[in-house]
Amino acid sequence: MLTLSELYIYPIKSLGGIALREALVERRGLQYDRRWMLVDAQGRFVSQREVPAMTQLGTAIEGGQLRIFVKKNPADYLDIPLEEGILFKTRVSIWSDKCTALEYPLFINEWFSDQLNFPVRLVSMPDTTRRQADGRYAPKGQYVSFADGFPFLIIGQASLDDLNQRLPDALPTNRFRPNLVFTGGKAYEEDNWTDFQVGHQAFRGVKPCGRCTIITTDQDSGAIGKEPLRTLAQYRSQGNKVLFGQNVIWMGGDNNARIAIGDKIMVGN
């Protein structure tokens, strides 16, 4: 039996995530997942690849506010409203995509820049922005937030357990930044999923996830090592990619769709 065991969102791309008991499912991903992003002076997205210090900023949602805090000093924090206020439109780029975003005021940008010792600006994705998911794998009309290419990422606990048995030191789930984690089944079986359901919600696996160097960055300390890419490359390489996890799109249309820890997962293929 396959069961949804963990749920995560990452409100600001490349910053700390939030573990949830249940989540609202939207076309662009779980509600609030990667709806904000930090960009440089040219409007290009910034991630842990360039700024590992981003691991040191956590996020929380409290009382209609998105709170960003320093993990080592939670009293040092910044709150921004979850609902869009009067913000200025700007153009941003994520990989080869360019889209319209809303930029926050100077004092917010200065707080992030001071924390990261790197000049950045905070932007959000308005509901009017329609960024297409990677059309080489996702059907037309599938959208994505500021995530790299797809709105959801799922990983089986059995896959993580298998990897950890091969590593000198076991790694936590947060190293891989998934949205959905499930128990039951065999290691890496999610690689071959197409249509499946979580509770009553229909999803589709579209492409195994090619992993980048972010998974070598400790999400607690920010330290960078060689694992688990070095070990994964020994048995999970395909072409020039190292695969771990499955990219997923949502096939439903219910505006109030929810999934929750404990939901059963039914695989159609």
- For the chain, domains (ranges, CATH) are 2-267 (2.40.33.20)
Could you tell me whether strands 97-103 and 121-124 are parallel, antiparallel, or unpaired per DSSP bridges? antiparallel
- Residue 269 pLDDT: 62
For 140, the token pair is 């037309």
User: In angstroms, rounded to a whole number, what is the distance separating the alpha carbons of residues 117 and 112?
Assistant: 8
pLDDT digits (tens, 9 = 90+) for 121-137: 999 999 999 999 998 99
How does residue 227 score in pLDDT terms, banded at 50, 70 and 90? very high
Residues 42-61 as b/e (b if ≥16 CB within 10 A, e otherwise) read: ebebbbbeebbebbbbbbee
In 10 A of CB 19, how many CB atoms? Answer: 11
The answer to which of 38-52, 164-178, 253-267 has the lowest mean pLDDT is: 253-267
pLDDT digits (tens, 9 = 90+) for 251-269: 987 777 999 999 999 998 6
Q: Could you give the percent of the chain with pLDDT greater than 90?
A: 94
- Residue 168 pLDDT: 96
Query: Model's pTM, two decimal places?
Result: 0.96
Q: Could you give the percent of the chain with pLDDT greater than 70?
A: 100
Strands of 95-142, DSSP E: 97-103, 121-124
Residue 203 reports pLDDT greater than 90: yes
Cβ(135)–Cβ(117) below 8 Å = no
- Residue 84 pLDDT: 77
pLDDT digits (tens, 9 = 90+) for 192-202: 999 999 999 99
Enumerate residues 6+ apart whose C-beta is below 8 A from 2: 182, 183, 184, 185, 264, 265, 266, 267
Of 208, 266, 203, the closest CA to residue 237 belongs to: 208
pLDDT digits (tens, 9 = 90+) for 59-117: 999 999 999 999 999 999 999 999 877 899 999 999 999 999 999 999 999 999 999 99
Average of per-residue pLDDT across 144-169? 97
Residue 13 reports pLDDT greater than 80: yes
